Amino acid sequence: MYELLYLSRGVVDLDPTEMETFLGSSRVRNAQADITGMLLHVRDAPTGSVFFVQLLEGPDPDLVEQTYQRISKDELHTDVHVLHRGERPQRTFGDWSMLAGATSAEAALRSIAENISDDASTAETTWDLLQDSRIARSLLIIAAGQEHLPHA
């Protein structure tokens, strides 16, 4: 299974209804391409910043990459960075064409980072923490509320 995990800076702060509207047509395209995953809208309260963390996964690397290329050009975000791309033994978010979620960031990220990253103490901002693919993946899994999902 091929996956691609990316991080971006949100241009606007979407509410849950706007997120669902935004994902509507994407879910149809993703289902047709056999792409699943999760999009997380992260609010950083101390700075007022908004970030997106998304994992796309599917059996065809070309279709996953094409989906990412389309998403990366969207005007709802900037500074789009791929954190990880590669193969995994199975889907992480196989039950959803694209699960959406939102979270406040700082406390959750610091807690995750302290458990899995030696560099967490040097990270100054939420953006810095989210650039670690292990932290970003863990946040997605926690936000999905699926403790039984496979871990990194």
Residue 59, pLDDT score = 96
User: Is residue 140 situated within a structural domain?
Assistant: no
CA-CA distance, 35 to 96, in Å (whole number)? 9
In a domain, 122, yes or no: no
Give the number of domains in the chain.
1
Domain-located, residue 37:
yes
The order of strands in the sheet holding 36-44 is: 77-87, 2-10, 49-58, 36-44, 99-104
Is it the case that residue 151 has pLDDT exceeding 90? no
- Give tens-digit pLDDT for 22-69: 666 777 888 888 998 888 888 887 778 888 899 999 999 999 999 999
- On whether the pTM is more than 0.75, the answer is no
Query: DSSP string of 99-110?
Result: EEEEEE-HHHHH
Domain assignment of residue 42, yes or no: yes
C-alpha 130/C-alpha 100 separation (Å) is: 17
Q: What integer best gives the mean pLDDT of the chain?
A: 78
Q: Is residue 133 part of a domain?
A: no
Assign residue 16 the CATH number of its domain.
3.30.70.100
Comparing C-alpha atoms, which of 28, 4, 1, 2 is closest to residue 136?
4
Residues 67, 73, 79: CA angle, nearest 5 degrees: 110
Question: What pLDDT shows up at residue 68?
Answer: 96
Enter the tokens of residue 16: 């849950």
The per-residue pLDDT for 64 is 96
**How confident is the model at residue 149, as a pLDDT?**
40
57 found inside a domain? yes
What secondary structure letter does DSSP report for 152?
-
- Is the pLDDT confidence value at 138 over 50? yes
CA contacts within 13 A on the Cβ side of 62 = 0
